[in-house]
Structure 1
Amino acid sequence: MNIAIIFAGGIGKRMNTKALPKQFLKLHGKEIIIHTLEVFENHPDINGIVISCVEEWIPYLKKLIKKFDINKVDAIVSGGTTGQESIYKGLIATKKQYSEETIVLIHDGVRPLIDEGTITDNIQIVKAKGNAVTVAPAIETIIRVNNNSEIKDVIERSECLMARAPQSFYLKEILKAHESAREENKNDFIDSASLMRHYGHSLYTVSGPVENIKITTPMDYYTFRALYEARESSQLFGI
């Protein structure tokens, strides 16, 4: 079984959207979270979807799922105070319905430009190597600084990749890492890859599309709109 865990617990403070969480912003009459869910809904190898969502927005999300005919959603749970906690809640909900040998693809609700090929590659690499972390090449120079903002090192760009999503694991392994972190009161891991690395797992990469951005700022939203419309045009004209 291959289950997508979509976490959408953020409230969009950097978007300046006031009460509207960023995952519910619309593009062409469809919310960002729906754009994301549709990619997993339409993938033939995804058996189910679990969503961790801002609690007060769950009723609205359920209406959207019905409106846009998203049929693979098995559970919607309230999100946590951090992304790490939101993912954990999604993992617990998954465990209630699926075996520990299930492959889980952990993905941001606000990364709608994920594509079918990257999902397929994640599943295949987990089966071959035990896990998969989607990455994209670093396109800017990376520097290391000290506490005084003095540049200490300029890192070779060819040695750097940007970690993105999905980040995919066997359910039993990622859940065990989360439970270890909770026992040790470690709740500040930036993503699942950092968590798994901390607990001794070797991690393996999957190359994903450069446009698979996370929408957290107004500029990200406008970039998403431009990329989405470019995709639509290329399909329309057969480019």
Structure 2
Amino acid sequence: MTQHLSTAILVVAAGRGSRVGAAIPKQYLVLAGQPLLSHTLQALLRADAEAKVLTVIHQDDHDLYDASVQALGPADQARVLPPVHGGASRQDSVRAGLAALAALPASPDLVLIHDGARPFATAGLIARAKAAAAQNGAAVPGLAVTDTIKEVDGAGRIVATPQRAKLRAVQTPQAFRFALIHAAHGAAEAAGARDLTDDAAIAEWAGHAVHIFEGDVDNMKVTTPEDVRAAEARLIQDCPDIRMGQGYDVHAFGPGDHVWLGGLKVPHGKGLVGHSDADVLSHAITDAIYGALGDGDIGSHFPPSDPQWKGADSTIFLAAAADAVRARGGMIAHIDATVVCEWPKVGPHRDAIRARIAEVVKIPLDRVAVKATTSERLGFTGREEGMASLAIATIRLPLPC
């Protein structure tokens, strides 16, 4: 029914999330190696292979938002539209997002409006949302209420007991014919109707019948510190296939005044010789990641026979390997690498190297370890003829379907 209808997913992520009590808005907290918003976007993009996604953000959060999108694979990034700024309320933010979608060369037929802090949307939930919107014009996912609900007054006294069978706990994505909800938001704004708590309420205010479709009990919203811990545990459980890969690389010294280690330029009286920039550390880590994926090695993906890689920045290879993990719905859990050389001394640069690797691979700093050792003047490294590096990468992947 909905195959011929174009769909956009509007993600609302402009709030401050103060109930979590974190230093940054909750949607940007790092859970299971990636910002929460990244997990939400990935879930939506996996759930609908064709929909475009537009996120409404706070004007102060561009750097946090950019980092969240950068954590996606290249194919997913291509489907994410530029963000728009939200307003003082959720209603204002959604209206801004709808206006941006209306300004596209072709506005969508359907729009799904989803919370940025709900990272567990499934393909089934999205399919039900689209079908309900196409059939009814306005629909929201709901769950039957299992507890008895009491209405109380200001003094905490019970004044009513609604019939439980008639109650539903409403989730997102709330789903609409685009023209319907865009017009309803515009009419509410023009009329000064400012106390409408969600998009279903706005559609109701505008005179439209809003239907309920089956929600998903696993479609939780992260609101409290306890939710943060529960969501991270679930995200990690979603990637139970734990794998480790090892990498090793070596390059000889040659003329130069620096070496590249993990994407950082380290001054030295010699350079390293290689087809690319001879970043021995990045090469070893890249091989370790590809090894964990069971997907060849750096040479099979970036062959030295290809002239385009001559002198290339090796962080390109490292980033591509990390993107390959994310493209399979996985996460890099940890990187542990060792540099073997007499000189230069790595210790003074260790933290900067770790930070650069974490930036390239898009994981938290505490998931990257870099160590250095000498070979006690033995072998080619002991004779200061070159440098070597060893690396282990631990990744987590979803189980195959």
Q: TM-score, normalised by structure 1?
A: 0.91
5+ residue gaps, structure 2? 1-5, 242-396
- 8 A Cα contact 1:133 1:205, kept in partner: yes
What is the rounded CA distance, in whole Å, between the counterparts of 1:237 and 1:53 in structure 2? 33
What is the rounded CA distance, in whole Å, between the counterparts of 2:122 and 2:141 in structure 1? 12
- 8 A Cα contact 1:41 1:71, kept in partner: no
* Shift in alpha-carbon separation, 1:50–1:184, aligned structure 2, 3 A: same
- 8 A Cα contact 2:114 2:173, kept in partner: yes
Residue matched to 1:203:
210
CA deviation vs aligned residue, 1:122-141 (integer Å, no higher than 9, x gap): 11111122222011222322
- 8 A Cα contact 2:56 2:97, kept in partner: yes
1:11 to 16, 19, 43: 16
Residue matched to 1:191:
198
Q: Give 3-state SS (helix, strand or coil) of 1:56's partner.
A: coil
Letter in 1 for 2:7: N
Residue matched to 2:29:
25
What is the rounded CA distance, in whole Å, between the counterparts of 1:159 and 1:226 in structure 2? 33
* Shift in alpha-carbon separation, 1:142–1:232, aligned structure 2, 3 A: farther
What is the rounded CA distance, in whole Å, between the counterparts of 1:53 and 1:238 in structure 2? 34
1:61 to 65, 71, 77: 65
- 8 A Cα contact 2:9 2:54, kept in partner: yes
Residue matched to 1:179:
186
1:133 to 136, 140, 158: 140
Residue matched to 1:50:
54
TM superposition shift of 1:22: 0.5
What is the rounded CA distance, in whole Å, between the counterparts of 2:154 and 2:83 in structure 1? 42
How many residues were matched structurally?
A: 238
Residue matched to 1:215:
222
1:39 to 39, 43, 63: 43
Residue matched to 2:234:
227
What is the rounded CA distance, in whole Å, between the counterparts of 2:188 and 2:175 in structure 1? 18
* Shift in alpha-carbon separation, 1:156–1:50, aligned structure 2, 3 A: same
Letter in 1 for 2:85: S
**Percent identical:** 26
Q: Give 3-state SS (helix, strand or coil) of 1:186's partner.
A: coil
Alignment of 1:63-82 (within 5 A): 63-69=67-73, 70-82=77-89
TM superposition shift of 1:233: 4.2
RMSD over aligned Cα atoms: 2.1
**Greater RCO, 1 or 2 (C-alpha within 8 Å, sep 6+):** 1
- 8 A Cα contact 2:32 2:235, kept in partner: no
TM superposition shift of 1:14: 0.9
CA deviation vs aligned residue, 1:25-79 (integer Å, no higher than 9, x gap): 1111111101000112223454211110011112331243133222211220011
Residue matched to 1:108:
115
What is the rounded CA distance, in whole Å, between the counterparts of 1:103 and 1:159 in structure 2? 28
- 8 A Cα contact 2:113 2:175, kept in partner: yes
TM superposition shift of 1:100: 5.2
TM superposition shift of 1:157: 2.3
What is the rounded CA distance, in whole Å, between the counterparts of 2:62 and 2:148 in structure 1? 40
Q: Give 3-state SS (helix, strand or coil) of 1:104's partner.
A: strand
- 8 A Cα contact 1:118 1:206, kept in partner: no
5+ residue gaps, structure 1? none
Letter in 2 for 1:55: Q
